[in-house]
């Protein structure tokens, strides 16, 4: 089944960021290799005056992916709301990835400002993708504010630490079975992306792990495979782990029953 975000369907469950690549050419190749249907773009700094960043954005549009503008770098409700307005005008989309950073060292969201900004933007008709923590109560408030998608962190932005708190992510999934949940931030390895998908998350958003890899294009492809594998595994129904060995060959009736192990 495809990924549904605010009524739009996507076959890929990979959302990729567009910052920090060695060159736009490599960025475009990485997007192609990721097969991502959605690319995030920041506009806080690039916007400049008179759309001075247009050229870079049109380049990303060439990938054919849908653009998800973000409010990266914003620290207050007002800044985030203004940036969202600018994004709607520049990209002609109601979509906004809402980031309100509350702490410089961990780049963790200011969840109070986030909920407030989400409330304002949802009321104005925006379709908000909030970058949040794995806190259940905050998640609930964001949904009440009108968000239909939640993007909890795996770990701090750019840290590459993977899923810092799988317990909380599992609880979030269990509490909101019908909400699109996207793990955003902190993923460093394809195996970590696969782990999040195995927990039942709907999609993965990442940037640094691909952009800063030795070979970004190869890493984008590796993540695409891992995300697809994790999703298949989730649907396939995993076995429950157990402490004792359990032979995979049916024992009764085995012709080697009496011959002992290893012969």
Catalytic residue among 75, 97, 141, 212: 97
Q: Which residues, in sequence order, are CB contacts of 181 under 8 Å at separation 6+? A: 149, 150, 151, 152, 172, 173, 200, 201, 202
Nearer to other proteins by Cβ, of 104 and 178: the residue is 104
Strands 8-10 and 127-132: unpaired
Q: How far is the CB of 242 from other proteins (least distance, A)?
A: 36
Nearer to other proteins by Cβ, of 85 and 161: the residue is 161
Question: Rg of the chain's alpha carbons, rounded to an integer?
Answer: 21
CB 86 within 8 A of CB 59: no
Residues that bind other proteins (CB under 8 A): 22-26, 28, 45-49, 52-53, 55-56, 59, 73, 158, 208, 212, 214
Q: How far is the CB of 39 from other proteins (least distance, A)?
A: 14
Q: How far is the CB of 163 from other proteins (least distance, A)?
A: 18
CB 213 within 8 A of CB 219: yes
Nearer to other proteins by Cβ, of 84 and 101: the residue is 101
Q: How far is the CB of 46 from other proteins (least distance, A)?
A: 5
CA–CA distance, 12 with 64 (Å, rounded to integer): 13
DSSP 185-234: S---SHHHHHHHHHTT-SEEEESHHHHTSSSHHHHHHHHHHHHHHHHHHH
Give the burial string for 74-95 (b: 16+ CB within 10 Å, else e).
bbebebbbebbeebbebbeeeb
Nearer to other proteins by Cβ, of 138 and 157: the residue is 157
Nearer to other proteins by Cβ, of 127 and 207: the residue is 207
Q: How far is the CB of 19 from other proteins (least distance, A)?
A: 9
Longest Cα–Cα distance of the chain, Å, equals: 82
Q: Is 97 a catalytic residue?
A: yes
Helix (H, G, I), strand (E, B) or coil at 215: coil
- Active-site residue list: 97
């Amino acid at each position: 089944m495809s990924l549904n975000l605010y009524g739009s369907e996507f076959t890929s469950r990979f959302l990729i960021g567009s910052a920090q690549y060695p060159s736009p050419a490599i960025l475009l190749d990485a997007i192609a290799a990721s097969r991502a249907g959605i690319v995030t773009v920041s506009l806080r700094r690039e916007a400049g005056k008179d759309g001075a960043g247009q050229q870079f954005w049109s380049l990303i549009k060439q990938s054919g992916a849908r653009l998800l503008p973000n409010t990266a770098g914003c620290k207050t409700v007002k800044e985030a709301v203004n940036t969202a307005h600018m994004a709607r005008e520049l990209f002609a989309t109601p979509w906004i990835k809402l980031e309100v950073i509350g702490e410089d060292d961990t780049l963790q969201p200011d969840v109070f400002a986030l909920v407030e900004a989400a409330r304002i933007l949802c009321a104005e008709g925006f379709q908000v993708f909030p970058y949040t923590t794995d806190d259940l109560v905050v998640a609930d408030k964001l949904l009440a504010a009108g968000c239909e998608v939640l993007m909890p962190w795996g770990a701090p932005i750019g840290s590459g630490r993977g899923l810092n708190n799988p317990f909380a992510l599992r609880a979030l999934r269990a509490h909101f079975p019908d909400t699109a949940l996207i793990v955003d931030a902190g993923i460093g390895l394809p195996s970590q992306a696969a782990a999040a998908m195995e927990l039942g998350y709907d999609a993965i958003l990442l940037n640094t792990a691909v952009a800063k890899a030795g070979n970004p294009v190869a890493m984008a492809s590796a993540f695409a495979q891992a995300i697809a594998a994790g999703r298949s595994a989730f649907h396939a129904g995993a076995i429950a782990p157990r402490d004792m060995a359990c032979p995979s060959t049916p024992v009764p009736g085995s012709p080697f029953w009496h011959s002992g192990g290893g012969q």
